[in-house]
Structure 1
Amino acid sequence: MTAALKVHPRVWIGLAIYVGYVAVVFLVQQLSGVPYTDLGESGRNLFLGAGLSLIIAAILLATTTTLLGWWRPALREQRRSVRWPIIAPIIMVVALLINLASTDWASYDGAFFAASIVLILVGFTEELTTRGLLLTSLRSTLSEGWVWFLTSALFALMHLINAASGQALPATLQQVGFAFLGGTIFYIVRRTTGTLIWAMVLHGLWDFSTFAVLHGTPGAFAAFGSIVYIAAGVLALIFVPFVIRGADEKIGSHA
């Protein structure tokens, strides 16, 4: 695999991409003038406050990945892990379906729905940044246990920018904790399926569902979505050693 790469992975490259992604998203969202807490008020707010930054970031990330020649290691495992830990992501899918079933779809208008669809891009941008390019760079040096922990932790910490965009700090810190659980689930998806694509899909649909259920008046069972999500995250923490065990994913190890 190493011979096909235009630039050999280095830890600093992945960290630079991570910082650059967070900076671009934060800058575009700040220039929009839409506080994080107002994203759900209208389709215009959601697009300008979140969707536009994702479109710009997606273009920049795709260009960067192409220039580096990292599409293959960013999107695919060399060897899949054991399959059964995918139970945790499946439980997350149940939580996602609960969110969608509890959504007040009557409160949607065309503009808000269109902006919500754009929001699915977050699955591409955040996954490619963390469990794609950052993961590839970390695998040049670190063991797989550190790769899981650092990609999940940095994914969680990127959500701190929401506090600077108007969200209350306690709510943001809770979001960071939940994101670490989610990051572990998405890592398990990558390891068990052998590709980042399914993690991108699940991530995008999850974020879509969380914004959807908070728009309008949520259904009576909306709170159960969060409970099931936490259960999936706890199981993911228990299962993750099994997908790390025996991993031989360092760049060039199978060249």
Structure 2
Amino acid sequence: MPNTLRVTPRVWIGFAIWVGYILVIFVMQRLTGVPYTELGDSGENLFLGAGLSLIVGTVLLAITTSLLGWWRPALFDAARSRHRWPIIAPIAMAVLVVVNLAVTDWAAYDVAFFGASIVLLLVGFTEELTTRGLLLVGLRSRLSEPWVWLLSTLAFALMHYVNVLAGQGFLPTTQQVGFAFLGGTIFYILRRTTGSLVWAMVLHGFWDFSTFSSGYGETSPLVGLTAILYLVVGLFALVAVWWTFRSTAQSDVPDATAARLTA
């Protein structure tokens, strides 16, 4: 297989991009001066405190991926997981997205707030490309797939601690980090079972959008139930993920590592 990558994948490059993305988000949030806990107060707060940093992050990540030439290995696996049944976890998560959207108090939205909240969908592109895209490519250059899952998912979870610096309390942020690890595992399963990161980007974006929207305005009692069901699905994913490490190809080495070995 010819090597079309401009830069050979390295673990340190993946982590450098991860750190760089966190710094961009932190700096942008500090410059706007909107605390994390006040994002839902108005459309202006939401756009300046979250949307603007996501737009900047999207542009910088697209430029970085193009310069590295990593688009294909970041977005696609050469071979999908040998076992497909773990996709039950992301399917269940998608159902919870529909429930969240169904119980959202849409009457509480004005045009400005709705427009700003739509920008939140970009989080699926930025966070997935950073962790289960570019970081994953770097990790696959040296590590076996179980380590790739663990380190990329842990990195995804830990990046949420930046919210402490943006004004959120340490304990609720720690809970958010734990839930993010479960969600990250679900998104990883979706990549491995479909062979594409694109579906994980879509699910991630709509999940964050739906959880934010369902908590705005008058909150339905079903929101608490979906949180419990999310925990159940996440725990199921922690077990099911072990069946996704082997690929349909004879070799279990994913696309990014294969590209490095033929360089």
| TM-score grouping bracket, smaller chain normalisation | over 0.9
Confirm whether residue 242 of structure 1 aligns to residue 243 of structure 2: yes
- Cα distance in 1 for residues equivalent to 2:79 and 2:48: 40
**Residues 4-44 of structure 1, C-alpha deviations (whole Å, 9 max, x = no match):** 00000001100100000000001001111100000011110
> 1:97 is matched with which residue?
98
**Partner letter of residue 207 of structure 2?**
W
**Residues 125-182 of structure 1, C-alpha deviations (whole Å, 9 max, x = no match):** 0000000000000000000000000000000000001011111111000000000000
Confirm whether residue 28 of structure 1 aligns to residue 33 of structure 2: no
Residue 102 (structure 1) shift: 1.8
> 1:59 is matched with which residue?
59
CA root-mean-square deviation: 1.2
- Cα distance in 1 for residues equivalent to 2:202 and 2:227: 19
**Partner letter of residue 251 of structure 1?**
A
Residues 140 and 250, structure 1, Cα contact 8 Å, conserved in 2: no
The sequence identity of aligned pairs, in percent, is: 62
Residue 219 (structure 1) shift: 1.4
Residues 86 and 188, structure 1, Cα contact 8 Å, conserved in 2: yes
How many residue pairs align between the two structures? 255
**Partner letter of residue 166 of structure 1?**
G
Displacement over 4 Å in runs of 4+:
none
Alignment of structure 1 residues 100-119 onto 2, 5 Å: 100-119=101-120
> 1:155 is matched with which residue?
156
- Cα distance in 2 for residues equivalent to 1:2 and 1:223: 51
Alignment of structure 1 residues 1-255 onto 2, 5 Å: 3-81=3-81, 82-246=83-247, 247-249=252-254, 251-253=256-258, 255=262
Residues 160 and 173, structure 2, Cα contact 8 Å, conserved in 1: yes
SS at match of 2:258: coil
Residues 39 and 49, structure 1, Cα contact 8 Å, conserved in 2: yes
Query: Where do 5+ consecutive residues of structure 1 fail to align?
Result: none
Structure 1 252/151 Cα, relative in aligned 2: closer, same or farther at 3 Å?
closer
Residue 210 (structure 1) shift: 1.1
- Cα distance in 2 for residues equivalent to 1:252 and 1:23: 28
In the superposition, the TM-score normalised over structure 1's length comes to: 0.97
**Partner letter of residue 152 of structure 1?**
T
- Cα distance in 1 for residues equivalent to 2:104 and 2:256: 43
In the superposition, the TM-score normalised over structure 2's length comes to: 0.94
